[in-house]
Chain A
């Protein structure tokens, strides 16, 4: 018999109050109608509360948590990214064609075509992009990830990150820094020039250094950066510093001339976001290992192309579930307002998908003001993310929560059930091509993506 019941109260708070008045142990659950009260979603949720789904999720989360992302080298996109041709342009987010692209993505495509020498001017590039001769493919479908516009063309150098547990790899370009940069849709001559310098001088030197190092354990670097006040999406200052520390001896011991090495250091240390292009592929190769597990409700991709937000789920394989991209709540650089902002863009939400970024906001008090709110708000954001996730990552811990593991592995079911949406820390691009970054802030994925995915998961369950 129950000696002293310990009670969860789901529904009216009146009963919790009455129990508390009796001195009983009671925890009130702030219940919300699952699926926003939509009976079809509620039925789908009920259909997915099954042991085989739990089993599939256990397998998926195990693969995600066991991933060991290591920076093993660099290469040229066209030579190492599968299926890449001279006329392939990889881009951030779900699939999109030229006529649907937003300003910053168009700008980056123009810049990419000029960089490749496929076009000489903006007009040329625009005509070529619209001609049908260029194949636009999501980075995510080629084991790659790209911040903001995320454009990768054939001759760009990319980092190679290998998941030592599963053997799969992920790729990302070198982060170009702030200001006028390709990923924010800028394509002026100085943008192209910087990309050329990266390919011709920086890449050979850094590639050699990485190879000399025998591989840099990105999981360890991320774990340390998290303890140093980064969340590894919108704040990467600690991660970038740690990277410099790790790479310095190898860069100095390499064959690159002194001027190149000096400029390489200046380039990395002058760009607080350098590490983002390492934390992203680290999460990508970890999540790819957990992708394509039948019945699993784990979200393995969240990405935006500036027009649409799209997610992919382990159990539904390579299907995208998309909805219009949201506008971002945030702060703007002087001279810019919300009217200048492009809707949400970039693959960088891969960090949140992998359990860092906005999900670890409680770890990064320094960026909280930038994205609006107090340190307590940041902790609350992180605490609420545990409602959505399948696990806590023992490798990534949160000092502010007494070293509790980061909330990891977003479950489509929990998102629809609770109505809580993942929180994403993100930069804001100007809506016109060629201008660049105008601010940073917070955004949520559209809930429709998760609702569609949930219904599709139920469909897949049918024999």
Chain B
């Protein structure tokens, strides 16, 4: 494993820590005063600092340190986590995320912002409460600006030593827990445990790692493995005991509890348990050189099968920096679990229910830590293979049915079982890619904070159902339209505090983001309690922009939906509209590109609700299987408004080549799919076919003529571009039950082509191959 890989792991872990940090801060913001929440927040920053130190990311370390100092004040109850304090902290979390990104991808961060936050954090740590005005103006006065790296107060000088040129500084931060301010302030007595197994311990079948794991259940611990006694390979006795561990543990269980852990091994090891102060006093009186410990990766404690020697040797061999990061995370998980257990035990009846649920959540979080990182390509490959398996299974079943006239029951039973198995495999594989929408929702809370700050509004974001799971590709593409809509909601939807007060509303606006599953799709709802859409203005604007005729009579719902029209947003004076309308056509298009639908309902004076219905995965699509000129095509179901059998009387010729179909007294152009895709030279007779009424992104309706409808089916989407090229009019391909490829129609392109934009022009370039 080279340094870059280790660094990559660190950054991935940073992401997790940042998410943890943000959700913890938001919990605190919601009035959660559980010490474990504060601890989790503290640990997140601490871990980032630790890892960043190992990689010599000085800016990150400096900022994290100041942040940590302030958080420590909260942890030790010196600072009350009021809304104002949390505001600063949430912003600091944002900056920390920016700094992490900058460290990973290069690029820069807004230094004035981090500088002013450093000042605010220091002020908080020094017991100065933030004034609301200081919060409003983010950048600090120029004269006071200091580089972040130097802004670390001397008094709280980090126990971190600056990394040397080689970038190798094995144990930069964990000394904090050895009873520096950080350790002493946590309120729990700390003990130093030296555990030195003898040869007999192993020969009796005891496992040092198991003992250490039991120990870790008592409280927060920092652990080092001393490998100084490890002889060279030629002298190594594979059954020997060469390592000892130096553990600092913070626990309220007392010294005896620690000794109890080692009860069985008492005679086979040297054990010293001392309160940290004492241990430290001893160390100084003896004037010994401090041991240079090798950090011990607690995660190996979970692998029951690993022998102590192998693990420890690995720990030594591995780059120390990685171990630091890994140990931090691993200990976090253990700590979390143990803390949850503690909460469960001591709470009184009144608080028991709440505590239990919190504990359950914490446990769930600890359980969620049991994950592996997998390259998305590998999962995709697996999904492809399973898709193929499903198709093959269907083909096999079909040929057995066709050929097996006697119908022996064993074959049929076997096939049935195979079918069940493949279906289960398919579901499980799809579930691998499913992820909770939480990360996207968390990003939204940051956007709400930023826009609210910019517009001087006070907004509260409530998220619900953030554990609802969706396919990763959907999640990735969800962020952009959602960001857009949240911006709109905060900027235009919610009124200024003065206006809200005048309207008799709470001055704090509420934006509610909800996710839930409904009938095989995910429903995402964005609701605000703002002013709602000003229909008169929207209507007027649409008329001004020639989107609707001046005398048109539209229902309220139709007016609300005008904001999705392209061209509605091209207006220059966007903020004139008190409702919405900034780029909503873009939002609608990206939702449609995801195979989704979006709807708006608005109540003047009470706010608006946007509802998005999205497929759970982009790998599968609901389609209408149709035949056109002997070819089988799939039309995405989301595009189809209705299907109808045209009657001769409803078809009208229009000019030389065009035909219209009258549907409930409106005329809709007929588009022969077979003709437009060049599958046949002349137009088919519409009366012999079926018309699919579709709605394109441009809002226009078209009647697509196909020869016959075979039925509705879920199809697995396969890329055409991977091996071929983009084909105009075709969105992708799929494989049908008989193993043949069927093409999925690109409805928007076909409708566009029917307006006169040629499909062929695009093709000429692509067809060179």
The answer to whether A and B belong to the same complex is: no
- By a beta-carbon cutoff of 8 Å, the part of chain B in contact with chain A is none
